[in-house]
Amino acid sequence: MKFPCTGIILAGGLNTRLPGRAKAFLNIGGMMNIQHIYEVFKKLFEEIIIVTNSPLEYLNWDFNIVTDLLPVRSSLTGIYSGLFYTTNPYAFVVACDTPFLKKEVVEVVLEGIESGIDVVIPETSKGMEPLCAAYSKKCLKPVKQQLVQREFKVQRFFKKIRFKRISEKVLRKEDPELLSFFNINTPDQLEKAEKIFLKAKTIERIDG
pLDDT in tens, 58-98: 999 989 999 999 888 889 999 999 999 999 999 999 999 99
The answer to whether residue 13 sits within a structural domain is: yes
Domain count, the chain: 1
The answer to whether residue 85 sits within a structural domain is: yes
The answer to whether residue 1 sits within a structural domain is: no
Q: Judge contact between 171 and 122, C-beta under 8 A.
A: yes
The answer to whether residue 188 sits within a structural domain is: yes
The answer to whether residue 59 sits within a structural domain is: yes
The answer to whether residue 124 sits within a structural domain is: yes
H or E segment and range at residue 96: none
Cα angle for residues 167, 171, 174 (degrees, 5° grid): 160
Residue count of the chain, please give it: 208
What span, in angstroms and rounded, lies between the C-alpha atoms of 156 and 133? 15
How confident is the model at residue 4, as a pLDDT?
A: 87
CATH code, domain carrying 138? 3.90.550.10
Give the 3-state secondary structure percentages of the chain, helix then strand then coil, rounded to 5: 40, 20, 40
The answer to whether residue 117 sits within a structural domain is: yes
Give the residue ranges of the chain where pLDDT is below 70: 1, 13-21, 201-208
How confident is the model at residue 205, as a pLDDT?
A: 45
How confident is the model at residue 85, as a pLDDT?
A: 97
Beta carbons within 8 Å of 80's beta carbon, 6+ residues apart: 69, 70, 140, 143, 144, 147
The answer to whether residue 92 sits within a structural domain is: yes
How confident is the model at residue 144, as a pLDDT?
A: 92
pTM for the structure as a whole? 0.92
Q: What is the DSSP letter of 112?
A: T
Q: Judge contact between 79 and 134, C-beta under 8 A.
A: no
Range of the domain at 161: 6-207
